[in-house]
Amino acid sequence: MKKRLFFIITAFVLSLIITLFLSYLLYESYIRSTAQNRRIEHAYKVVLQTSALEKFIKEAETGQRGYLLTNDSSFLKPYLDIRSDIKPGYDSLRRLTSDNGHQQQLLNKAGLLMNKLIDHFQHSVYLKSRGSLLETRGYMDELRKVFKEIEQDEMDLVKSYSVNTYEASMPRYFSAIFLFAAVIIFISFLVILKEYRQRMQYQKQLEQKVLEVNAYNVELEQIAFATSHDLQEPLRRIRTFSDRLLWKYRDQLNDDGQMILSRIDYSARRMQGLLEDLMNFVNLVRGGEQLSVVDANKLMTSAVEYLKQEIEIKRATIHIGQLPEITGFEKQLFLMFKSLIDNAIKFSKPGIPPVVTIQCVQTTGDELVHIDKKLSKKQFIRISVQDNGIGFSNEFSQKIFLIFQRLHAGAEYEGKGIGLAIVERVMTNHNGYVLASAQIDKGALFNLYFPVPEA
């Protein structure tokens, strides 16, 4: 299972890396394509401007020739507008090629040639002489050559951007990466398919186990019913007949006989108490009670009233501070408070009246970080139950919450080993926590942490 999980994670990471790498290549391709488009657009503008300049010079030359041949001044319009026509185009070429030193030199040369041509046009028109036409043609050919060189330089730059080693190797990169990704995806698909089939088998097995557990639960329900009814009846009969025997034949029984009957009655009462506590615990596990807002003060007072006889026998003192309202299961909370008070009274020091102090504060979960670090950020209502009894060693602070776990022999103390198990179960049902701390002969402290509902 771990190997398959490792392979799936590795395949996912590799797929992610491949996706990121392909995205990077695509981004690089986009950047280069954008730069290429800008270069082509730049070359187009340069060619367009050189063509426009060449056109203006050619029209001026044609107008000059027409005027010299026909003596018609209407041919002179292109010549008269030549300087205003070529200046914007020439300045634009200057700006477009400002980052290219070679083209700037060519433009300087073109500017000189255009000035010479305009001077020749002016001289010919002014003198009405055709003698300089041949020289003008030479300048025109040289100017066309310069413009062609500028345009060729732009085309070479475009080609250098469009054809390079990176772009030539791109198809191979993509082919290799896509092939590798396809292999990874195929293998991952096979592993996931195998994992899916195994999980389907696990699910079927789990469903079978759930059916078995439900069957066991039905049997446990029957056992619980028998415990609460059928097993209680013989115990009641034992106690009834032992009481009748002791009352009817008291004068005929010696001290040993009366002691035996007394022990029978005590054992029956203890067994009956164990069954009752066990049923209480089973009912806590089964649940079924509805949540309600519970006044903890009234509930604690009711628990004290329920234990009034034991409190009077031990001459115990119960100090109850101001307790809040708690959203929970009322019967379960009553059972828990009763168990805690009863536990404090039972495990008191001989000859010293028990003193039980119950207090409440709202606090954070800093004391619960050993259970879960996230609890430190939550708010809790902490109810503390402290006594002055025999205490216990802190090494048993977890063991005491296990069902039927006792730290003392039954001859010493009457505890049945289920009271604190009930406490922990009730706190679990309320999504809370219980912590115990104590020192031998210095009493015990039980802290109950109820989570505060978030607003």
Tell me the C-alpha distance between 302 and 171, whole Å: 84
Q: Report the distance separating Cα 289 and Cα 298, nearest Å.
A: 19
Region for residue 71 given its phi and psi (left: phi exceeds 0; alpha: psi -120 to 50; beta: otherwise): left
Q: Take residue 192 and report the two structure tokens written for it.
A: 């996931």
In 163-254, which ranges are continuous DSSP H helix?
165-228, 232-248
Over the stretch 189-243, which tens digit does the pLDDT of each residue have?
A: 777 777 778 888 888 888 888 888 777 767 766 666 666 666 677 777 787 877 7
Q: What is the mean pLDDT of residues 160-179?
A: 60
Predicted confidence at residue 383, as pLDDT, reads: 92
317 Cβ partners below 8 Å, 6+ apart? Answer: 353, 354, 355, 356
Bridge pairing between strands 379-386 and 433-438: unpaired
pTM of structure: 0.51
| pLDDT tens-place string over residues 26-82 | 777 777 777 777 878 888 888 888 888 888 888 877 777 777 777 777 777 877 778
More confident residue, 55 or 251: 55
* Highest-scoring range by mean pLDDT, 38-47, 196-205, 244-253, 380-389: 380-389
